[in-house]
């Protein structure tokens, strides 16, 4: 049965989910490679958690406009807006606090606000809120062709942008002062990278959910780094690992009833990392 | 006259209450090799960083007759023991190729020409056999040479180096000074923060004695005197150094 799923023979929807998850994994792996090289991994976690209030608010806004509140691009827009606000808050607070403390504070407060808004929505009895909480841990069972297309195009766009920007991104991550002297604006590059990571987070809401997307951004990247000797090699291997985990995780969860997709994907990535540690743990560099 | 590689006037830099530079002024003629010398905390590194615009200093800095910001492509900088993550997945050749970024641009291909150029820069610092090594697998002196090669790859005309000989082995020191003298012979201008007073006369032809402001500047033979050193370092420190 798992073999069927892996070979895309388990039905149209399962195949759709597997391909979508693979593309998400590739985009997350590539973006995560640059993110971890720039030492901003935790920032993506704060960003992901800060999407939650936006999802709730977007739902309410769409219901107020007469919809059922479940229009995916609308939810993603709301998620993107509060995630950007969370990112801004981290940067603003980092002037007074250590960056990790600022990140933790923003992560918790935005997430708390999101949970409150979602709970209120359940009690309001408006729109069609059932299943809105699946953005927390992801749910691919009900993935539509349109959703898969959003993931596919979004993921491909992220990968293409990272490919184009790979040199300045690597230079800023390695030696920001030198990058600046070579005419690159490090703040601009950081903002572009964060925008690309945000795109991955939004695309991933449907697959791994906002809590686990950070694992898909970070785990393949740190695994790849233990094997690769160049930035392009790290990003490429990380993307391949992410794609394999996304694909495999989606196939396994399609084949085994009640197994959630996001956590299975993340466990596969963690398994690859553990295996790498065993093999490469004693090799230096 | 207007083409003087670097002309610095009244460079003043404050870190909060601390005055790191207090009206430092200096001119660096073409094809000269200047040591910036002075006691700890004299603002030598700050001088280089302010010239490059990495610190927000006041004063006037002109490079090649215009604002320094317009001349950045002609200026290379080698930081003091670059503060980078040594476990970064980057090979020696990739580091040197980063120096070609202005020529390759965002989307330009790194073709054979750039590879050859980077290899030639590595050969110049004696590191051609290490091109495929991880940067973190090198010794401190070898790393310093790679960062010099990255500066060479820029093809600059003005080189600013912050203590290039600090904590490096003798072979590296000899390799670096050879490269710098070669650059000077080709018409490039070299400015280096330097710590070892005993080698100033052998390595450099000009000196800028700095202690937050300019104590003296000019040819080594005229400037590098006991009297001027005493004014820069203070008489007691001079005695201790003797």
Nearest to B94 among A173, A225, A230 (CB): A230
CB spacing of A174 vs B77 below 8 angstroms? no
Residue A3 has pLDDT above 60, yes or no: yes
Say if the Cβ atoms of B77 and A164 lie within 8 Å: no
The pLDDT of residue B179 is: 96
Q: How many domains in chain A? A: 1
Which value does ipTM take for this structure?
A: 0.90
Highest mean pLDDT among A1-10, B162-171, B186-195: B186-195
* Identity of the residue in A180, A182, A228 whose CB atom sits nearest the CB atom of B89: A228
| pLDDT for position B234 | 76
Binned at pLDDT 50, 70 and 90, residue A134 comes out as confident
Per the domain annotation, does A191 fall within a domain? yes
Task: Give percent of chain B above pLDDT 70.
Answer: 95
pLDDT at A163 over 90: yes
Contact status, residue B174 vs residue B188, Cβ threshold 8 Å: no
> At residue A5, does pLDDT exceed 80?
no
CATH code, B6-83+155-241: 3.40.50.300
Mean pLDDT, chain B, whole residue set: 90
- Looking at residue A72, its pLDDT comes to 81
Q: Sort out which chain B residues have CB atoms less than 8 A from A232's CB and list them.
A: none
Any B CB within 8 A of A188 CB: no
Residue range B18-25: mean pLDDT, rounded: 92
For residue A198, what pLDDT is reported?
95
State the DSSP H helix or E strand holding residue B211, giving kind and residue range, or none if neither.
strand B206-211
A177: number of CA atoms within 13 Å, CB side? 17
pLDDT band at residue B223 using 50, 70 and 90 as cut-offs:
confident
3-class secondary-structure state, position A33: helix
Distance from the first to the final alpha carbon of chain A: 40
Which residues of chain B have a CB within 8 Å of the CB of A175?
82, 84, 98
What is the pLDDT at residue A285? Answer: 44
Q: What is the mean pLDDT of residues A78-102?
A: 93
DSSP B31-97: T-EEEEE--TTSSHHHHHHHHTTSS--EEEEEETTEEGGGGGGGEEEE-TT----TTSS-BHHHHHH
CB contact under 8 A, A174 and B54: no
Which range (A44-53, B144-153, B166-175) has the least confidence?
B166-175
Confidence of residue A11 (pLDDT cuts 50, 70, 90): confident
Q: Is B84 on the interface with A (CB under 8 A)?
A: yes
% of chain A surpassing 90 pLDDT: 64
* Residue A283 sits at the chain B interface (C-beta within 8 Å): no
- Does residue B52 belong to the interface with chain A, where contact is any CB pair within 8 Å? yes
Name the token pair of B19.
């005055």
Q: For residue B241, what pLDDT is reported? A: 47
Average pLDDT rounded to a whole number, residues A105-111: 95
Query: Hey, what are A283's tokens?
Result: 């090799």
Average pLDDT over residues A123-150: 77
Residue-averaged pLDDT of chain A: 89
Residue A187: give the domain boundaries: 2-274
Kindly state whether residue A280 falls inside one of the protein's structural domains. Answer: no
Q: pLDDT at position A61, please?
A: 94
Q: How far is Cα B90 from Cα A113, in angstroms, rounded to an integer?
A: 42
Residues 6+ apart with CB under 8 A from B34: B28, B190, B191, B192, B204, B205, B206, B207, B208, B217
pLDDT above 90 for B186: yes
User: Which residues contact residue A283 at a Cβ distance below 8 angstroms, ignoring those fewer than 6 apart?
Assistant: none
Whether residue A283 lies inside any domain: the answer is no
A254 compared with B101, residue with greater pLDDT: B101
Q: Which residue has the tokens 């937050």?
A: B212
- Cβ of B90 within 8 Å of Cβ of A231? The answer is yes
Classify residue A164: in a domain, yes or no.
yes
Nearest CA in chain B to A226: B89
* CATH code of residue A208: 1.10.3470.10
CB contact under 8 A, A178 and B89: no
A207-251 residue pLDDT tens: 888 888 999 999 999 999 999 999 999 999 999 999 999 999 988
CA of A231 to nearest chain B CA: how many angstroms apart? 6
- Residue B240 confidence (pLDDT): 47
| Record: contact B85-A164, CB cut-off 8 A | no
A40/B contact by beta carbon, under 8 A: no
pLDDT level of residue B237 (50, 70, 90 thresholds): low
pLDDT class for B242, splitting at 50, 70, 90? very low
**pLDDT value at position A141?**
65
Is A229's CB within 8 Å of B89's CB?
yes
Per-residue pLDDT of B56-105, as tens digits, reads 999 999 999 999 999 999 999 999 876 788 889 999 999 999 999 998 87
In a domain, A135, yes or no: yes
Domain-embedded: residue A282: no
Asked whether residue A244 is domain-assigned, the answer is yes
Vertex B234 angle, CA B230 and B237, to 5°: 95
């Amino acid at each position: 049965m798992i073999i069927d799923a892996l070979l895309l023979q388990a039905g149209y929807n399962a195949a759709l989910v597997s391909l979508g998850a693979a593309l998400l994994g590739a985009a997350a792996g590539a973006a995560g490679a640059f993110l971890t090289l720039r030492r901003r991994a935790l920032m993506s976690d704060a960003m992901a958690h800060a999407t939650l209030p936006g999802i709730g608010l977007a739902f309410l806004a769409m219901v107020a406009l007469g919809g059922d509140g479940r229009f995916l691009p609308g939810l993603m827009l709301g998620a993107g807006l509060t995630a950007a606000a969370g990112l801004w808050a981290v940067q603003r607070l980092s002037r007074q606090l250590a960056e990790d403390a600022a990140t933790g504070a923003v992560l918790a407060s935005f997430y708390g606000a999101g949970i409150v808004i979602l709970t209120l929505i359940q009690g309001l009895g408006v729109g069609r809120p059932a299943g809105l909480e699946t953005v927390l841990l992801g749910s691919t069972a009900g993935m539509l062709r349109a959703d898969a297309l959003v993931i596919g195009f979004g993921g491909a766009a992220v990968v293409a942008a990272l490919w184009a920007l790979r040199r300045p991104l690597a230079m800023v991550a390695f030696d920001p002062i030198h990058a600046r002297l070579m005419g690159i604006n490090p703040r601009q590059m950081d903002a572009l990278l964060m925008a690309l990571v945000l795109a991955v987070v939004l695309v991933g809401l449907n697959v791994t959910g906002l809590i686990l997307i950070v694992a898909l951004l970070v785990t393949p990247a740190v695994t790849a780094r233990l094997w690769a000797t160049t930035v392009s090699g790290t990003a490429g291997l990380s993307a391949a690992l992410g794609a394999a985990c996304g694909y495999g995780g989606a196939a396994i969860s399609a084949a085994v009833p009640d197994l959630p997709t996001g956590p299975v994907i993340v466990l596969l990535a963690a398994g690859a990392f553990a295996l790498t540690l065993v093999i490469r743990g004693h090799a230096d560099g | 006259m207007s083409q003087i590689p670097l002309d610095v006037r009244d460079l003043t830099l404050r870190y909060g209450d601390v005055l790191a530079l207090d009206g430092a002024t200096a001119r660096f003629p073409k094809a000269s090799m200047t040591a910036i010398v002075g006691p700890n905390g004299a603002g030598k590194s700050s001088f280089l960083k302010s010239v490059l615009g990495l610190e927000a200093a006041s004063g006037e800095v002109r490079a090649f007759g215009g604002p320094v910001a317009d001349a950045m492509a002609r200026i290379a900088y080698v930081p003091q023991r670059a503060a980078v993550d040594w476990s970064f997945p980057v090979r020696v050749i990739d580091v040197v190729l980063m120096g070609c970024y202005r020529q390759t641009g965002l989307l330009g291909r790194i073709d054979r020409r750039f590879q050859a150029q980077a290899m030639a820069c590595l050969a110049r610092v004696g590191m051609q056999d290490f091109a495929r090594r991880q940067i973190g697998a090198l010794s401190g002196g070898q790393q310093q040479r790679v960062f010099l090669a990255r500066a060479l790859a820029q093809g600059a005309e003005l080189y600013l180096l912050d203590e290039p000989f600090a904590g490096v082995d003798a072979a590296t020191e000899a390799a670096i000074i050879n490269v710098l003298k070669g650059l000077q012979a080709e018409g490039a201008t070299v400015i280096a923060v330097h710590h070892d007073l005993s080698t100033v006369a052998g390595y450099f032809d000009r000196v800028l004695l700095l202690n937050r402001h300019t104590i003296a500047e000019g040819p080594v033979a005229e400037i590098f005197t006991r009297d001027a050193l005493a004014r820069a370092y203070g008489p007691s420190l001079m005695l201790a150094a003797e």
